[in-house]
Structure 1
């Protein structure tokens, strides 16, 4: 049995830097966190006199303690209230590029706080109830305060993936997309929600602290309001408008950045995230290496690793990795855990609630591409149609589509007796006409991945996508009556779209071709790693992916002769490489017809890295097959055992 939702929360909590810091602050007020094991002492009378001569005041100097090695000359123009502890200030710290100043405090009001060794606190109008880590920089800020029992945004329950409620997720700092998706789909959780919520409630209780934290080496510049915030090590906060009741996880290798007038409220921001350009994040989780930029808005959402929201608005959504919203667009109540898609300028997903209540939603499939000006009306489900393109200007009425790699576009032909709302669908269009884009996706996401904790399989063709392809092929093959065109009355899963018979036939061939190609690549890998003698030894429970690939090969009559199957693979690899190049060449041909100097400024298809990679893969397949044939001697009939059924 897999890990339960509750168990995963508790496993993540066991390694939480936030909970460790909160426990340390509760134990000693933050002394160990900021000062380590340094010996502390009260101020000597000459030190008090010197501090006052340097413009410092305190209501009660006896409540100010310092570490051994403290130099009072490093503190000027400050006002101290309550229990304040100061570390040693002996080093220079960077103030700006190429500019270093000596650590210490100046022109600031400090209340009930601990200032770590070699920190810099300058021109802070109010610093109350904070632990400032070693080497941290806090400059030109307004109110930096923490209230009793602050939980830094942990434990909030927000309406993720459904604006009207029903898919609420309790947030905590280390939440990831997989866990959030399990909670947002209660039917899949198998009664685990109570355990999950209890674990997050426990996390929230353990995160409670009377003092906020600014971690080791963090830089906080020109922030008017910083309230009830945990800031991790090496974070960079520069010119943010406000950060309130939030957690910013960070590390020297993955510094989190919030800057340029941005606002973060009641949110959990993970390692390597950037919130810039007057962006707004509210009641949300930004998973590692996400981006919100250029006035982007995110609220009541979980935004996955490497996903970028720039200029658009995301409200009550669960977005997986590598989703791109780089222009003005709108996503509301969207469940998209697979991610890897794109939302074009002017796309409106959910702008048209039923007018009764905001209780409808959109389920998006992995790799979905929503073109310019697309309108998605709720409810809508494309979760079983990964890597589908919805063309520019398409209006999607409520529907469910289950055909992967499709193109959905406004009708280009006249179909009598068909409602105007119906669009036209071309199943497997991406496989037939634009396999270049699929290969580019694999390379693009691999190159753009900045996440270090999340793990991705960048391959488009995997067991889950191939299963959807084969299910779609069977659905298209099993039509009881062949007719010129089909709708969802004839073939379930077409949604509110019309399908021509020519596209039906071509889709079946494309689905089966790429399913077999993927299975044959599995055969090649198996032969290279285990040898042909091990092929018959695999049972269904031993290697489930290979067992499924064997079943695909058996259904295609490719189990009778390994050498023949490998010959087929070589031909398929060459065909795929040609199709990748052909798709790219269409751009060249169209471009030179329209733009006079197109060929001078656009690389030719021969120079395209995706085309070259496809050629290299075909050559690698050919060479691997040749080596296997040489190693096995004379061509013998190596038979793959027919597999049993695999679930």
Structure 2
């Protein structure tokens, strides 16, 4: 049964903090820190009290109503005041936001122990308890606004006296909760990724939790906040919220236990029918039309729309989910997921990803227990009506063709196409598919994601280029897999993998045909059916070509920046070591050695908080161009089979020539891939003429991306010519 307690009316608005938690200080200590008033407050005069009473205002104690010398009692009508209330400067003005126009003042509201900044407009707030409201805020038609003394505002903290069961955790990456983390305001995808890994390292896990708890104040008495110039209207319930400046909230069903970051440069909007509980929302977010989110973090400049469900999940910057359901997932920046029946569960998706209509990644029928895990590299794209099984792993830019994949998969080939060959019951892997058949879509990714990056404070270098240390390293691994598969096919059993690899390399780089028998792959699918490697030579050669092209671009940038070729070669000669593995932490690429060194510091207490951890992210971002350049140099040495010490001007001249040829090929493939849509007679059949089709879909000659690539090719040709003279 409900437990309803009766207390004296004169106590309403007081004793917000239980006496046991006051710690020898009054209950207003944190409230006073939150309310940054730049003017002096005074008590009401007798004439002001009489005016307020005539205007149907009631107070439990008029001596606890505090105002400034710019107080206009005529703008306070039909209200109930309880506890201490402070009202900032007032003016004879109205506030206007879009079509909403409200006279300043407080009207038809019940206010319990709240603070108001200057020139606010509060209308028809039926119940408002323990809020600090900024200046020029508009509140209209709100049913309930309340705050508990133990409010946590979406953070995974415990207040003094709380039990562990009350702590909010995000149960990410795995449905059983074994990778859960404590959310906190300012948490980044890299934080979540690192914390959700290394679960057998108990020292590191303990330090991660201590670093999170360093952000929190365990004392009771913090009020909910509404920042300057925020507008809230036609909303039902708001409880335990911290809202930044310039936010716009309308028609919301429920906001509870939230931090909503917003600023004048990057304001957040929340719209009709939304219910958001136990979460943290980044700057510049848009949440509209029936969204349900529980135990979540939504990073900056991301969107939830049209009934999206985000539960026990982290969604990275510059992402959009509409209509779909996402559970127990960690998603890096620049994720796109639309259409009503897309479903993503218990996964780590490393950004720049797209979930097609009907795709199902995880559901309980996949095993006899809760869903396990799926880890997918950048550019992950499960196609229409794809169904995948846990546990599975996918290399960067894996495209999966429509179909039910009934077994666990380990796809090590970046830029590949994965498909079921239903009539023969075989799995077919086509490595390098994007380079070979859809260059337009692939190369458009880089500029597309850069244009969508609306972060005002780009403190972290998010890698959007399809050719980067992570994808290059995966290409090297994929080439090794192709060599072994080809060598095993033509050499037979009974030899070592090293011999298979060497023999496979000879076949792949030779002239003899690889046709005649299928090239089969091992350890790709957890089943007894065959896994076929399609077009091994074409894939192998395009991997080699793109690795050289990646390295050439880096060396060209370095040569351009060098005062002379002597300085350039001196720099190259000083590079030692070998090609390093890189880790993708939240969209940022970092050499694994740097990450391991930082984790060692964390273990011994050298990193006090996650904010201090972010300083290392920023340092890595500044160092990344150099790290990428060094990686490219080692990649070139490895793919060319020559040591760095053997390089000279002739070597570099050949590299420039090859890079220009590859750039021309890429540009031609981009236009060719897009032109297929104009040459397809089935696509033309719905138009009366070719001219009508161009009017509807636009002319190929006017394609902005293709024209930019052609212009970039001309610039590249001039650059190569200029650098050739520099050598």
Question: Fold match, TM over 0.5?
Answer: yes
For these two proteins, the number of residue pairs brought into alignment is 598
Choose which of 627, 636, 654 in structure 2 pairs with 1:564.
Answer: 654
Q: Does 1:403 align with 2:404?
A: no
Q: After superposition, where does 1:194-273 map in structure 2 within 5 Å?
A: 194-205=206-217, 209-273=221-285
Q: Residue 539 of structure 2 corresponds to which residue in structure 1?
A: 507
CA contact (8 A) 2:31 2:222 kept: no
Q: 1:188 to 1:88 in 2, by over 3 A?
A: same
Whole-Å separation in 2 of the counterparts to 1:98 and 1:501: 61
**Aligned partner of residue 242 in structure 2, secondary structure:** strand
> Residue by residue, what CA displacement relative to the aligned partner does 1:368-392 show, whole Å, maximum 9, x if unpaired?
111111101111111xx11111112
Matched with 1:486 is: 519
1:69-148 equivalences under 5 Å are: 69-90=70-91, 92-97=93-98, 100-148=101-149
The answer (yes or no) to whether the contact 2:71–2:90 under 8 Å persists in 1 is yes
CA distance in 2, matches of 1:602, 1:463: 37
2:521/2:531 contact within 8 Å kept: no
Q: Does 1:392 find its partner at 2:475?
A: no
Separation (CA, whole Å) in 2 of partners of 1:378 and 1:604: 44
Q: Distance in 1 between matches of 2:629 and 2:107?
A: 66
Residues 89 and 438 from structure 1, CA distance in 2 versus in 1: closer, same or farther, beyond 3 angstroms?
Answer: same
The answer to whether 1:332 aligns with 2:345 is: yes
User: Helix, strand or coil: the match of 1:612?
Assistant: helix
8 Å contact kept, 2:524–2:531: no
Is the contact between residue 102 and residue 138 of structure 2 (CA under 8 Å) also seen in structure 1?
A: no
Q: How far has the Cα of 1:458 moved from its partner?
A: 2.2
Question: Counterpart in 2 of 1:613?
Answer: 708
Per-residue CA shift, 1:85-104, capped at 9, x if unaligned?
A: 11121153434425544311
Q: What are the residue-to-residue correspondences of 1:517-556 with 2, within 5 Å?
A: 517-530=549-562, 531-533=564-566, 534-538=568-572, 539-540=574-575, 543-554=626-637, 555-556=639-640
Would you say 1:46 and 2:47 are equivalent positions? yes
1:157-189 per-residue CA deviation (whole Å, 9 max, x = no partner) reads 121111111110110111111111111112597
> Is the contact between residue 263 and residue 280 of structure 1 (CA under 8 Å) also seen in structure 2?
yes
Structure 1 equivalent of residue 675 of structure 2: 585
Which residue does 1:476 correspond to in 2?
A: 482
The question of 1:57 aligning with 2:58 is answered yes
Please state if 1:349 is matched with 2:361: yes
Q: For residues 354 and 86 of structure 1, what CA distance do their matches in structure 2 show?
A: 59
- Residues 189-198 or 468-477, more deviating: 189-198
CA apart distance, 1:426: 0.6
Say if 1:377 and 1:34 are closer, same or farther in 2 by CA, change over 3 A: same
Q: Distance in 1 between matches of 2:53 and 2:542?
A: 82
Instruction: Give the TM-score normalised by the residue count of structure 1.
Output: 0.87
Q: Secondary structure at the match of 1:170?
A: coil
Q: Indicate the residue corresponding to 1:427 in structure 2.
A: 431
Match of 1:440 in 2: 444
Alignment equivalent of 2:720, drawn from 602, 606, 625: 625
- 1:484-537 deviations in Å (ceiling 9; x for gaps): 223433xx4477685656511111011111111111112211211113212243
Following superposition of structure 1 onto structure 2, how do residues 362-377 of structure 1 map, counting pairs within 5 Å? Answer: 362-377=374-389
Judged with a 3 Å threshold, the aligned counterparts in structure 2 of structure 1 residues 481 and 170 are, in CA distance, closer, same or farther, namely same
Report the Cα offset of residue 57 of structure 1. Answer: 0.8
Quick one: structure 1 residues 366 and 190, their matched pair in 2 at CA, closer, same or farther if it must change by over 3 Å?
farther
| Residues 629/411 of structure 1: CA separation in 2 closer, same or farther (3 Å cut) | same
Deviation at 1:631, TM superposition (A): 4.0
Q: How does 1:460-471 map to 2 (within 5 A)?
A: 460-471=466-477
Structure 2: how far apart are the matches of 1:160 and 1:204?
A: 22
Q: Does 1:595 align with 2:686?
A: yes
Worse-matched range after superposition: 123-132 or 154-163: 154-163
Unaligned regions of 5+ residues in structure 2, if any? 1-25, 157-167, 491-515, 578-625
Give the whole-Å Cα distance in 2 for the aligned partners of 1:233 and 1:512. Answer: 51
Partner Cα distance (1:206, 1:90) in 2: 39
1:161 maps to what in 2? Answer: 173
Conserved 8 A contact 1:488-1:494:
no
Dislocated runs of 4+, deviation >6 Å = 494-497
Aligned to 1:288: 300
Contact 2:31/2:221, CA 8 A, preserved across alignment: no
- Aligned-pair distance for 1:31? 4.6
Unaligned runs of 5+ in 1: 1-24, 633-647
Q: 1:324 to 1:514 in 2, by over 3 A?
A: same
How much does 1:621 deviate?
Answer: 1.8
Which one of the candidate residues 654, 662, 665 is aligned to 1:575? 665
Aligned equivalents of 1:306 and 1:451: distance in 2? 8
> What is the distance in 2 between the residues matched to 1:232 and 1:207?
22
Give the 3 Å change call, closer, same or farther, for CA 262–306 of structure 1 in structure 2. Answer: same
Going from structure 1 to structure 2, the CA distance change for 1:207 and 1:600 (only over 3 Å counts) comes to farther
Residue 208 of structure 1 and its aligned partner are, at CA, apart by 5.2
Distance in 2 of aligned mates of 1:622 and 1:396 = 49
Q: Note the C-alpha offset of 1:603.
A: 2.7
| Matched-pair contact (CA < 8 Å) for 1:485–1:498 | no
Instruction: Give 1:56 deviation, angstroms.
Output: 0.4
1:357 offset after TM fit, Å?
2.0
Q: Once the 2 structures are TM-superposed, how far is the Cα of residue 431 of structure 1 from its aligned partner?
A: 1.1
CA contact (8 A) 2:142 2:234 kept: yes
- SS of 2:127's equivalent in the other structure is strand
User: For residues 116 and 31 of structure 1, do their structure 2 counterparts lie closer, same or farther at Cα, with a shift above 3 Å needed?
Assistant: farther
Cα distance in 1, alignment partners of residues 27 and 480 from structure 2: 62
Q: Is the 8 A contact 2:280 2:297 kept in 1?
A: yes
1:11-44 deviation line (CA, Å, top 9, x unaligned): xxxxxxxxxxxxxx97645456445231111111
- Which residue pairs with 2:326 in the alignment? 314
User: How far apart are 1:605 and its partner, in Å?
Assistant: 3.1
TM-superposed CA distance for 1:436, in Å, is 1.1
Whether the 8 Å contact between 1:271 and 1:288 is mirrored in structure 2 is yes
Residue by residue, what CA displacement relative to the aligned partner does 1:33-61 show, whole Å, maximum 9, x if unpaired?
Answer: 44523111111111110000011011211
C-alpha separation between the residues in 2 aligned to 1:89 and 1:608?
Answer: 55
- What SS does the aligned partner of 1:197 have? helix
- Taking structure 2 as the reference length, the TM-score comes to 0.78
Structure 1 stretch displaced more, 555-564 or 226-235: 555-564
CA gap of 1:102–1:30, structure 2 versus 1, over 3 A, is: farther
Cα distance in 2 for partners of 1:191, 1:605 equals 58
Cα offset for 1:303?
0.6
Task: Look up the SS of the partner of 1:222 in the other structure.
Answer: strand
SS in 2 for 1:447: helix
